[in-house]
Structure 1
């Protein structure tokens, strides 16, 4: 409801205001009026400040009306509000042309609260005036001998009645050589290039003067050259010269032939080359001799890696005022170069091994400037040459046959000369020192895998038991032998062995007794730790009388071999034990004097015609349960005599 009330009051107020014309209209107080501007005006310039008032103090807005010259309100003029009033401006960048539109009419409409006032403002254009050149003569002279860059040749004077900014420019004829002059805003014409070598008579220089609207005037100034120099001439360059690589440093390749008609002129030579050509070729500035560099060797392969082996050089012959140039080409040609070992001497160390074993881990580092060359390796090891084989493509050495220093034929050290030859036949050599490491590749070998020795039970400590024969295929330290005994199967170390392989009695063997056959191991160990063992058996024989040494040989009897005595003795012991056990079994049941004993032990023989039962138990039951004879009363046995066998009989009863 509040909003509707406000809207209602506004409508009523407006109605009464306009119905009874209660508001006062704005008034433009200082129009109509007019002003004049130059047709070359191109910046925003304030032309006129409007004096506009409104009795009610309402805000005033001014704009161009429909009566304004078409398009001028947007493209050439504008109205700006400045603080308390409005002003008329030209538009920056606006184009004014007296010939097409000399006058503009601007209709100004100023409005306040719906009321407005309209008036006009006229703008008139002032036509632009062309600048005038005051002092250009027909010609001026310039000496090519004395004139220098920056010298003033002539100063053009021009003015403009409207004091417009004047701009100068020039152009030269002929177009080549390039015009050596330039003109500044002051009108000064100066040299901007060296004309000492110019041999043309001069230039026609067109001087153009223009104002800010581009309107101007042209005048031609002829600049004549005096003291013209005759340039030198190069007679013999322009071709390509082949230069072989490795050309001697500083040697002459070609001499530049340069002539000059001015006999008093002193000629100076310069040369510049493409890429790195200046590194390999140089020219004598006084004589024109082109030679190989005295410091940089011409290397085809190195130059090729840079991209090209051809160079184009420009030679300049200068007489002090003028110069002439000519080109010369240099093609670097390839020459075969010898391969080279990176070292003069090499050494390798390898273990002895089988035929074909490669004894070098890496090949030789060989450089050859000719990357396309193939390389072949050969060697000469003197008398040891046949023991080795060399890979012709890599230079790696291998054994030509099984290499074993222990054979006494193949040396542990050899000195060789290795030769590498390229495909062009050039070669290089290096020495190779070979050291072959002796390996512990042989274990000690006993003459027999087992030994049997005989001793008497009464032999004293230190008595020789026997000797082992051991060989080792290795030479040197690895062939040194050490002996030891493994008597872990014996309770005591009864024997010992010396450094020559002789086994002796270490402790008395009498405790072992006759017929005992102790067995142990003899161990042979070489200097490299390889060990081999053999079985040793010692037969201890009983001795009742001192033994004598007989020189008469005889065949061995059965009991001469201690091992036969051993097993024969064992068999006898087993038989005796068996008989004792059987006797105890029979005796332990009834006793040896009882009738039962006799019946049980002899009944089998008393009744030979009866068929025997299947086993001993059935025989027992048959004899004692079915046909048992009258029981004989006997004293009760001592429980201490009861044993397993009697208990078994009782259980079966």
Structure 2
């Protein structure tokens, strides 16, 4: 509208040939081809002016028809009418003629207005795209895996004639696409994003029948789908890891790739499918870490050090595809354990005679290193130290742990005695691999003495003398032997042969510890005057030596005379002549240690009035009994007719006075029974055969082996006496005589009126240990008394005396329906261990209905406390007496 107004104004002031400014070349008519691009020159003109042009002039002030398809552009010399390209002037669709009014004005105000007519000329144009190909690159997207088929329809037309048939083509021809005659573009294959190109750039060409063409660009992109399984890119499947790694230590990093990942937002997730407590995996990065310390020496890694894990990778977010791989961790052994020994202190006993080169102990049998692999489990022994370590003990070979004896251990060598006969050795067991763990082992070698030497007697033979009168236990002498073995343990002496009399027990006994030789029995010179026997000395190792012992038995007068006959009966007439042999009797005596002339005879007893004597009375081993004094029965001097003579025969008549003084006199006895008779009164013929009487003497010898017999008998008697005493005590404690009850002298209950039915009331007395746990006031006297809540016993509180019967009788009431009850104590109880006191007797009435007639009521006995309960309150109501 502004331009129209301005045009009207100008038309009003501009006239023909007005002013000093002039548009040269205008008015004019020009031809311009259709569809010229922007900036195409349509017409060139110039301006003549005497002054400078006003700013912005010349310009097109109007057009017919109105259009903005033209503009004026200035150059240093002239002006050009150019196409603007908007709109595009098309012969077929727009006006074919345009009148452009060009106006110019100088600074003086002079103006000029001319018309330029532009005539459009028809040009044979190529086809045009009717879709986006006309002005841009068209982007198409095809999902991988899509089926073969049409993907795009080209829309084009021939501007000259829309009915013309156009020809379509694609470049490059090798692309897996084709175009149909009607412009339909189709794919010729199923695309795989992972193996095919991800995009194709196609040039679409459209030709008209005259050969003119138009090109458009079509870019086809293949879109990725999650149709591929991820795969592991890690090529390492075996990982050696040291044992004892800290939790959190990274031991592996598995990686994977998803073929769908290129150009496709995707996340891979990792996890361990194998159950394990030793490893964890980062699900986003695939980093595998230690989660628990692994001990190579523990089960199962000691035998099976490989840990096999199945690792799974899965794509995300769809999560529809996964794959697995197996990796193996080989747990490597480290020297993390020192050598371990079952014992660290050993005690070995070695005989002193052990030869050099003897193996004392092999420590390898007791030590081990639980590390699995070499050299971690290899160790050696070194540092043998201690008493005797260099002179007598060594590790052979070095480091082997075999302690070998290299010196002597002879106890008899004074330079070879260890403290307490024991050598203390120290050995170091050490790893051969870093960090060289060590432990100390202590070996105590105790030297055992060996019985190398037998005992040796101080003399090969010993001679001793002993009197045959010496009693058992007499020391004869001592045998002594020595033993070169060290330490000296002891020698045992024994008699091995001889030392006894044929048919009797051993005569000699030797102390096994001291070698003292003693008599064990009486020796008999007459039986064996000399003993030759062998004594043995034996050490603790059963080595023995012997010595010959000769014991000479010194003769002594130790035998009694033995006379025959030992007992005899004789008869003698009263008129026997003096000095004559009585009935031809003779004694014949023998003595093994006395000669025939050593006997002496005398009558010790029974020789009344000395009628009898022996002739000879000494100096002979045969003597006769003679009448030494006549009988005098008629004169009364003799009254005894039977004589019993006790005859002693001694062997001392040849011994010296010194011998007699020491009592070495032996005596034999003979008994003679003599009967005196008067010849002619009786005929007495002696027919008695001399009898021999053997006197046996028994010696009661104590046997030390039977000491336990009197001990056991004595102990049994003491135990029996103790048992009898205990039973007597029990009987005396629990069996006591019960005293007879005494009748009561006072009537406790008033006598009721007599009736037909008699009711006997008995009082049962119970002796108890009373504890008075309550107090009450007597309703009659008003005094305070104490009572036992269980037994009913009472006593006055002030005097601590029991309540008398007459004072307690008001507390017991009997209904007057029966005769007067009689209180009779029928039962008494007491505890044996607790004496009963007078104030601990409670009377408890007992009612007997044995005389009650059926239908009659029993007498009622009640406590007075029941009737006086309201009148005499107490802290604790005493029990009722029923």
Q: TM-score range by the shorter chain?
A: 0.3 to 0.5
Structure with larger RCO (C-alpha < 8 A, sep 6+): 1
TM-score normalised according to structure 2 size: 0.36
Q: Compare CA radii of gyration and give the structure with the larger one.
A: 2
Q: Larger helix proportion, structure 1 or 2?
A: 1
